[in-house]
Amino acid sequence: MITLLGLGLAAPTSNTTETPEPVTSISIADFSRDKTLFDSGAAFGRNEATVPIGGTATAGETVQVRVLTEGGPATAWSDLTMADGNGDWTGSVSAARSAGWSRIEVRNKSEPVTRATTANRFGVGHVVALWGQSEIVRIRSTAYNNLTPEPLLADDAVQAIWFDGAPVVKHLTDADPHTAALAAMANVFLAERPDDKVALVFQAVSGTGFRALVDDSDTSRNWSEDAAVHTFATADGQHVGLPSVSWFASPGSLAEHYEEALLPLFAGKTTSGADVTFPAQISFGSGGSYQADHWFGELYDPAQTKWVAFGPHRFDIDADMQSATVLAGGAIQNNLQNKEQARVSWRALMDNPHADGIFLPLGLEPTTYQNGVSDGSGGWTDQSHPSSDTDDGAPMFARLVAHAILQSSGLTNWSVPVFDMAEWEPSGAYVDVWSSAGPVTTTRSLRGEPELDNSQPHWTDVFGWQINGLPAHRAELENGRVRIYPNAGNFVSTDVIRFGEGGATGMAKFPEDHIAGTYKNLPVVDLGLAGVDGIPVRPLPDASMLANTLTPPAGGFSTGPTGPFFYDPATLGAGVSGLFAQMDLAPVVSSSGSKNLLTTTGNYLRLEILPNGKVRLRVRDSGGVVHVDNVQSGAVLADNVQADIRFGVDLPAGFARVWVNDALVIDESFSSATPTLPSNRALLLLASNTGAYQVEGAVSRLAIWKTATSDGSLPAATPYKDFIGPAAVVNADPWRNGTAAT
């Protein structure tokens, strides 16, 4: 508390006029620390902060206030408030975003020379919180700082706050930038917003997730420590304006349940809009739940704060891969599949109407940096974290995070690049895909570095593309577009291309892809932004934009809500121990309820399409033993998008598998004491025997074999039944039931 009285003078001489003794006093409470920063409300389009102040004065006096800013003029004196009967006063001043530090001065209106000024300074800029785990920790951790920091563009404009037994504040200068990654992040803010001050509040603990954060019984992360950092950062009545979050390493295991599990922590509501009262048990999926003793509403006022939501970042491989989510041996790589599903679910959370007003527009997804380091023996290690020994590692990750915050909050004026245009060459020779954000290129191309050689089939110019669930072998830059060629022959009407599946890296060979720096082959758009070659093009573009437009061959047919479906007039017969089915179709996925692709009477087999794009499988043998009990894939089907779905079950060999566009999406092993299917049950396609659960869409082929292959290839034998159209042939078939095909 600073108290000053009116100026007292020495006893007057005969040559001076007597000055009366001051009759009033005034004081102002100082800020908790020098150079405390207030958020200017950029998330709401504002450019000023409300700074609360208080102090004491002679009771009944009118307190006046002004702001003194270094390098600028003082504001005009203005009436603030009146001291109450106890001599206390409170109020607030509005201060605009400024490059200079400021002090607040107050005076008594009746006796203007009676003044007080804060000793500590304050600033108005951007208060940013960085939530997450180890990849965020490593931006400021000296334990992983193996690089010389780049020169800082300005001193003392960026400060960092974190918890290290107690809250710590660091004012960054060129002489002491703390770490290379923190200097890189600071320089993005300083280059893109040279007159703005930034406070970075690190709310990050390695190896933790949201559920540990909010559960007081889980001591791997303590809410009290994060709350302490927040309290320190807002000790003078300021707000965190821009909390940012891309938290997917540990929480990524939530997969398709990410939205359902985490929306309550942000919105205080379930996905259906029901209010959640904390502490609460949060339920998600089929039987999943966790204890939430806290939620972010305890820290952030939605009238002052909006979340910057970006990510996920890249997740690298640690073994050879068949595709983005399938290991070389054919098993699902659950971690990468989960990350893809979490990415989709995160976007659904952004679009949930009960999240309205909580989030800023979805930011970029940082993928064009290096994870891991050489192990010194020809291998690669620590691939879960941004590299500590190259500027393309932790510093580049930090720059991308800074750009995500600036763009999402509207502090810079550019759009996140997405693939939003595609053109299938009519003969099927190639597909061109491009972005309205600007010409597509790669980091490798922008740097003029040599292309990768041909020692790996997937080492193409542009990584991340898959054709029918397998890595593309030719994806090349062509006049600002990506041109994708078939892996063999020409594209046909049933081919499907996708970008950014799994961990969004395009990697397939370990450790060769790490050593070759394949992160440089991901597509970017050069927007001329500070510290980066380009901004990565967002993974998983709209499937409808990539939809195949090639003309299907003669044949094929369409089904509607009441048929047709196909019911074998004969039963399976004795001794059938395996089945294989190919279903090449573009189904309606978004309608409510499950739809039967293949089943038997009595539901001994049942392969379904779910409305969330997943497929679900049930297998029971003739002895009544259920070997596969409604196992689901990830989200693999899109509405009205052609998919080649293959299903094989072999009871003696003990497997049941489902492939979608050549990617293995369900892989179940078992042992059957009765390794046959029931002889008295009949096969059904596209619906139940009553016409319920009807699949709608365009069908190119439905084929069934009474034998199975283990790798998804079509059996060599002639199919037991084969529907390929045209509609007139299908409608005349004795299996056909329900409304006629068109």
> Comparing 645 with 592, which gets the higher pLDDT?
645
Q: State pLDDT tens for residues 102-148.
A: 999 999 999 999 999 999 999 999 999 999 999 999 999 999 999 99
Output the six-digit token pair for 265: 């922590």
Q: In which band, very low, low, confident or very high, does the pLDDT at 639 lie, cut at 50, 70 and 90?
A: confident
DSSP-based helix, strand, coil % in the chain, nearest 5: 15, 30, 55
Q: Torsions phi, psi of 28, nearest 5?
A: -135, 135
Q: Are 659 and 665 in contact (CB under 8 A)?
A: yes
- Residues, the chain: 742
Give strand pairing partners of 386. Answer: 371
pLDDT value for 590:
76
Work out whether strand 643-650 and strand 655-660 pair parallel, antiparallel, or are unpaired.
antiparallel
Q: Are 366 and 310 in contact (CB under 8 A)?
A: yes
What proportion of the chain, given as a percentage, has pLDDT over 70?
97
Q: State pLDDT tens for residues 502-558.
A: 999 999 999 999 999 999 999 999 999 999 999 999 999 998 899 999 987 778 899
Residue 231 and residue 588: Cα distance in Å, rounded?
A: 51
Residue 81 and residue 64: Cα distance in Å, rounded?
A: 7
Mean pLDDT, residues 332-340: 95
pLDDT value for 133:
97
Give strand pairing partners of 422. Answer: 433
8-state DSSP, 235: T
| C-alpha torsion 332→335→341→346, nearest 10 | 180
Contacts of 528 by beta carbon, 8 Å cutoff, 6+ apart: none
Residue 711 and residue 671: Cα distance in Å, rounded?
A: 19
Q: Are 29 and 115 in contact (CB under 8 A)?
A: no
Residue 699 has pLDDT above 90, yes or no: yes
Q: Are 618 and 596 in contact (CB under 8 A)?
A: no
Mean pLDDT, residues 692-714: 93
pLDDT value for 1:
52
Q: In which band, very low, low, confident or very high, does the pLDDT at 7 lie, cut at 50, 70 and 90?
A: very low
Q: Is the dihedral of CA 337, 343, 346, 352 positive or negative?
A: negative
pLDDT value for 502:
97
Residue 358 and residue 194: Cα distance in Å, rounded?
A: 28
Residue 591 has pLDDT above 80, yes or no: no
Contacts of 170 by beta carbon, 8 Å cutoff, 6+ apart: 159, 160, 161, 176, 178
Residue 740 and residue 742: Cα distance in Å, rounded?
A: 7
Asked, as a colleague might, if the bond just before 243 is cis with ω within 30 of 0, I would say: no
Q: State pLDDT tens for residues 348-401.
A: 999 999 999 999 999 999 999 999 999 999 999 999 999 999 999 999 999 999
Give me the chain's average pLDDT, please.
94
pLDDT value for 13:
44
Nearest to 204 by CA among 129, 258, 291, 261: 129
pLDDT value for 15:
52
Residue 239 and residue 404: Cα distance in Å, rounded?
A: 20
The distance in angstroms from the start CA to the end CA of the chain is 84
